[in-house]
Amino acid sequence: MHRLAVPMPNVLPFAMGTFDSIGPMSRAEFPHRHTFYEIIHVTGGSGRHVIDLTPWELRPPHLGVIVPGQLHHWEDVVGLEGSVVLFTEDFLLDHPGDREVLRRAGERPWLALDAAEHARTGRLLAELDAEYRGGAEGFASVLGALLHVLVTRVGRLAAAGADRAGSGRPGGVAAEFVRLVGRGEPELWSVRVCADRIGVTSGYLAEAVKAATGRTPGALVREARVHEAKRLLARTDLTVRQVAARVGLADAAYFCRFFRRETGISPGDFRRGADLHHDHRIESIAPPGRSA
């Protein structure tokens, strides 16, 4: 779980920039969660952005919304370009209704933009960036107002964008199942428990998820367990036995077999590889003058 780390003390709980200027966490390839909101305007690149286990193909331009607690990462991304806006709930105090707008938008987090929407979003983000960089008197109030406009537009697009959101998006019962499984709570990594929580039979749930995603509920549960195990192995000092318990597998030996079957390597080998590729002290935002 990553917090919003800004490069200077005593600044607003808000930051924005390009993927490069924000830093390596903006394009992280390992599953992780934030304690803050993230709105991204993707203008270039290929690959996938995986949000709560659902992969979204990059066919820019896109507008994406990540709400606190959502599990996400990038896969096989090349040439990623665009803008990133980061802020905490504290920055929404003047517009408390924006929290609910963002929560609903997070249920449909990946929006394809037509030319007009793309241009309008670009203009608004450019104005936000200029205000943020300028720091003129009263800039915090202006930033709050412009962010409110951005959130409002995001909410409109999410509400009206079912046809623009891309093929393969889970809906209805399947969307609720994906949301529950993606919460990272082991007690929910059970098809029966999720079916009971949603109020449908396990058989109906299996049919709905298969129809919407092309995958079985069991496969999505295994993927969620593996994602969380990878995150814990890469980002904490927990022992393999402790990681196994955290992902709901009390038997460490079984966990090791499960992890190897799903990933092709042992938990220990994965951790050693992660140590070579990820700095555990990475900040959310790169300090001035340092490129990602």
**Domains within the chain, CATH numbers bracketed:** 14-160 (2.60.120.280), 173-277 (1.10.10.60)
- pLDDT category at 41 given cuts 50, 70, 90 is very high
Tell me what pLDDT residue 255 has.
Answer: 95
- Say yes or no to pLDDT of 10 above 80: no
Tell me what pLDDT residue 164 has.
Answer: 38
Tell me what pLDDT residue 171 has.
Answer: 61
Between helices 173-181 and 191-198, what is the axis angle to 10°? Answer: 130
- Say yes or no to pLDDT of 168 above 70: no
* Among 138, 147, 204, CA closest to 174: 204
* Separation CA 188–CA 91 (nearest Å): 31
- Say yes or no to pLDDT of 145 above 50: yes
What type of residue is 209?
V
- Say yes or no to pLDDT of 28 above 60: yes
Query: pLDDT above 90 covers what percent of the chain?
Result: 39
Question: Does residue 12 or residue 150 have the better pLDDT?
Answer: 150
- pLDDT category at 7 given cuts 50, 70, 90 is low
What is the arithmetic mean of pLDDT over 255-260?
95
* Separation CA 267–CA 279 (nearest Å): 18
Question: Does residue 179 or residue 124 have the better pLDDT?
Answer: 124
- Say yes or no to pLDDT of 170 above 70: no
Tell me if 16 sits within 8 A of 132, measured CB to CB: yes
Rg (alpha carbons) of the chain, rounded to whole number: 20
- Say yes or no to pLDDT of 250 above 60: yes
Tell me what pLDDT residue 274 has.
Answer: 61
What string of H, E and C letters represents the secondary structure of 98-131? HHHHHHHHCCCCEEECCHHHHHHHHHHHHHHHHH
What is the arithmetic mean of pLDDT over 274-286?
45
- Residue 121 CB coordination number (10 Å): 23
Question: Does residue 226 or residue 4 have the better pLDDT?
Answer: 226
Total-model pTM: 0.60
